[in-house]
């Protein structure tokens, strides 16, 4: 009998990679997607199966982590062997703008699923994965951070995720549930949301190299992160649910880079050499301009980009009220117990993202410069 998985947040970056991974393993995969006024299934459209087909192995349900009745109904209907709770308002900066909603979806949403499992008498049958985060460490108490490092969350997002982390531990201890936390450090990919810093950078650099954009505005350039590839990380999410006993694991690469290094690596990918101006704690004055550029990106608007052109500026609007300056994971427990070895290096990750964003930028460029036609909706 095929195993049945339920993924919340299936339309997100990790949801898409995990759904693909589980389908390849022979699972029947159910996913919860939110109702939106526009299509929001871009990342999983290649997996879509027409509802009229019999014996589908990929099935979507409308739902929301803020609606208990809907979660109980879906879980009852699907009877999953494994639940992966990936849904969240996952943007740290936005959580300062929508703190109550973030607490509701990211914190109480986790409780709602765990309670639904109890109400339905599934606490001994169904395994539960919680998407915990390195943001829990916040103002770091120890370097590198492991499963034993104390937490000090620094945003409404991280505080909501702290509740979700502990309610998962508590339900495991109180009710003997197979429930575990993956404490995942930042992981990225070509389908990363466009407003997270890595994708914002690779997308902008690709567009700048083709003359579609002039400048990239960023916040804290000195922030240090441990960046891995989402494709590698979802495999660990699955593996955590295949162990004898439920446990929490840190997943990280053990290597750290700054936002500034991320920009340089992306620029290198399109053949742009950069020169930084300005230093120090107050980074508002810092800009970066093109020092040289090769021929890696053919085409582009005539004369763009140009040596001396300012391509990065620091804009304080992207500073956070409280920042997480540095994160570096210690994945040795996962290495020992799950056989975790990060497959993708930082350089390979950035190269893959730049390559994908260049293709997208080239399509935009074609539309812009060669025969994109508009028609008037009012006619």
Which parts of this chain interact with ligand NDP (CB under 6 A)?
Answer: 8-9, 11-15, 32, 34, 36, 40, 64-66, 86-90, 105, 131, 133, 184, 186-187, 193
Least separation in angstroms between residue 286's CB and ligand NDP is: 25
Least separation in angstroms between residue 118's CB and ligand NDP is: 20
Which runs of consecutive H residues, i.e. helices, occur in the chain? 13-24, 68-78, 92-95, 99-102, 109-119, 156-175, 197-209, 230-240, 259-269, 332-338, 346-369
- The number of angstroms, rounded, from the C-alpha of 244 to the middle of its chain's C-alpha atoms is 28
Residue 245 is a catalytic residue: no
Binding interface with ligand GDR (CB under 6 A): 90, 92-93, 133-135, 185-186, 195-197, 200, 218-220, 223, 225, 259, 318, 320, 323-324
Residue 157 is a catalytic residue: yes
CA distance 269 to 294: 10
Q: Which of 27, 84, 129, 157 is labelled catalytic?
A: 157
Residue corresponding to tokens 């997607």: 33
Partner from ligand GDR, ligand NDP, none contacting 259, C-beta within 5 to 8 A by type: ligand GDR
Least separation in angstroms between residue 160's CB and ligand NDP is: 9
β-sheet bridge partners, residue 130: 85, 181
Residue nearest to ligand NDP (CB): 12
Residue 135 is a catalytic residue: yes
Our CB check for ligand NDP shows the closer of 12 and 305 to be 12
- Interacting residues of 301 by C-beta distance below 8 A, sequence separation 6+: 210, 211, 212, 365, 369
Least separation in angstroms between residue 251's CB and ligand NDP is: 9
Please calculate the CA angle 195-278-361 and round it to the nearest 5 degrees. 35
Q: Which of 82, 123, 135, 264 is labelled catalytic?
A: 135
Q: Which of 8, 102, 126, 133 is labelled catalytic?
A: 133
Strands 28-33 and 4-8: parallel
Partner from ligand GDR, ligand NDP, none contacting 49, C-beta within 5 to 8 A by type: none
Whether 8 and 86 have beta carbons less than 8 Å apart is answered as: yes
Our CB check for ligand GDR shows the closer of 126 and 145 to be 145
Whether 29 and 58 have beta carbons less than 8 Å apart is answered as: yes
Partner from ligand GDR, ligand NDP, none contacting 323, C-beta within 5 to 8 A by type: ligand GDR
Closest to 89 in 3D by CA, of 116, 110, 71: 110
Annotated active-site positions, please?
133, 135, 157
């Amino acid at each position: 009998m095929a195993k049945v998985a339920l993924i919340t947040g299936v339309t997100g970056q990790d949801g898409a990679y995990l759904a693909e991974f589980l389908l390849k393993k022979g699972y029947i995969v159910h996913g919860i997607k939110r109702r939106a006024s526009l299509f929001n299934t871009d990342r999983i459209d290649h997996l879509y199966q027409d509802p009229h087909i019999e014996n589908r192995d990929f099935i979507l349900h409308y739902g929301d982590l803020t609606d208990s009745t809907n979660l109980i109904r879906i879980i009852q209907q699907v009877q999953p062997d494994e639940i992966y709770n990936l849904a969240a308002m996952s943007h740290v900066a936005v959580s300062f703008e929508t703190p109550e909603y973030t607490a509701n979806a990211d914190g109480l949403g986790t409780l709602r699923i765990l309670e639904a499992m109890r109400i339905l008498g599934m606490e001994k049958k169904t395994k539960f994965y919680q998407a915990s985060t390195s943001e829990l460490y916040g103002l770091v108490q120890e370097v590198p951070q492991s499963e034993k490092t104390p937490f000090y969350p620094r945003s409404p997002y991280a505080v909501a995720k702290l509740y979700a982390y502990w309610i998962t531990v508590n339900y495991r201890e109180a009710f003997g549930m197979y429930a575990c936390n993956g404490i995942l450090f930042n992981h990225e990919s070509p389908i990363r949301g466009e407003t997270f810093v890595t994708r914002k950078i690779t997308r902008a650099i690709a567009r700048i190299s083709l003359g579609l954009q002039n400048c990239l505005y960023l916040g804290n350039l000195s922030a240090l992160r441990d960046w891995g590839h989402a494709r590698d990380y979802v495999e660990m999410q699955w593996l955590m649910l295949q162990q004898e006993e439920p446990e929490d694991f840190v997943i990280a690469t053990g290597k750290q880079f700054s936002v500034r290094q991320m920009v340089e690596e992306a620029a290198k990918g399109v053949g742009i050499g950069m020169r930084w101006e300005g230093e120090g704690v107050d980074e508002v004055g810092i800009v970066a301009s093109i020092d040289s550029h090769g021929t890696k990106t053919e085409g582009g608007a005539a004369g763009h980009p140009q040596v001396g052109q300012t391509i990065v500026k620091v804009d304080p609007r992207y500073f956070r009220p409280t920042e997480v300056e540095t994160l570096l994971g210690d994945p040795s427990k996962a290495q020992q117990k799950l056989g975790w070895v990060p497959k993708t290096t930082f350089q390979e990750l950035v190269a893959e993202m730049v390559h994908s964003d260049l293709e997208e930028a080239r399509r935009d460029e074609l539309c812009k410069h060669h025969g994109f036609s508009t028609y008037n909706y009012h006619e």
